[in-house]
């Protein structure tokens, strides 16, 4: 049995069992216990809020605002997404959204499209990992 087969088996086991909350946070280099402690939540409640994040529309609103060069709504959506990401311990996403907010507020709107692309990569990474977490619906 080769390494590829062992990796296949582990991957299939993870797919069938779903990613645990700790595995999700490890994948984004965040200590889940710090997030739980800061928010004063149980792991079950944090998982519930992460599940709700999957349906958050702020990224879609930001995308539309960037496309339309509507910087007021870029700031609003980026600020909202930053806050939610910060509360959930999604530090990388929080940081790039903060950069977008800062750029709009300082009038550096020529940076917005490049920053948006970075936010999009971070957002897709988080969403891809969340798709692997098994949520109680």
Q: 2 and 24 in contact (C-beta within 8 Å)?
A: no
Give the span between the Cα atoms of 106 and 71, in whole angstroms: 11
pLDDT surpasses 60 at 12: no
Q: State the SS3 of 80-102.
A: HHHHHHHHCCCHHHHHHHHHHHH
Domain membership flag for residue 74: yes
Give dist(CA 78, CA 101) in Å, integer.
6
Alpha carbon distance 126, 72 (integer Å): 25
In a domain, 84, yes or no: yes
Q: pLDDT (tens digit, 9 = 90+) per residue, 51-110?
A: 999 999 999 999 999 999 999 999 999 999 999 999 999 999 999 999 999 999 999 999
Helix (H, G, I), strand (E, B) or coil at 128: helix
State both tokens at 11. Answer: 């991957």
1 against 23, higher pLDDT = 23
* Residues recorded for the chain: 137
Residue 85 is assigned to a structural domain of this protein: yes
Tell me what pLDDT residue 17 has: 64
Residue 137 lies in a domain: no
Tell me how many domains the chain contains: 1
CATH of the domain at 49: 1.20.120
For residue 53, is it within any domain?
A: yes
Residue 136, domain member (yes or no): no
pLDDT band at 136; cut points 50, 70, 90: confident
What value does the mean pLDDT take over residues 21-36?
A: 95
Residue ranges making up the domain that contains 26: 3-130
Average pLDDT, rounded, for the chain: 89
Task: Please report whether residue 10 resides in a domain.
Answer: yes
Q: Is residue 64 part of a domain?
A: yes
């Amino acid at each position: 049995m080769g390494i590829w087969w062992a990796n296949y088996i582990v991957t299939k086991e993870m797919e069938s069992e779903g990613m645990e909350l700790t595995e999700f946070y490890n994948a984004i280099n965040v200590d889940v216990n710090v997030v739980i402690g800061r928010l004063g939540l149980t792991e079950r409640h944090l998982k519930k809020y992460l599940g709700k994040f999957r349906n958050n529309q702020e990224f879609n609103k930001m995308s539309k605002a960037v496309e339309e060069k509507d910087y007021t709504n870029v700031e609003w959506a980026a600020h909202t997404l930053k806050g939610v990401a910060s509360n959930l311990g999604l530090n990388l996403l929080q940081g790039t959204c903060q950069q977008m907010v800062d750029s709009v507020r300082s009038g550096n709107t020529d940076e917005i499209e490049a920053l948006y692309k970075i936010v999009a990569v971070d957002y897709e990474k988080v969403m891809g990992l969340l798709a692997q977490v098994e949520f109680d619906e």
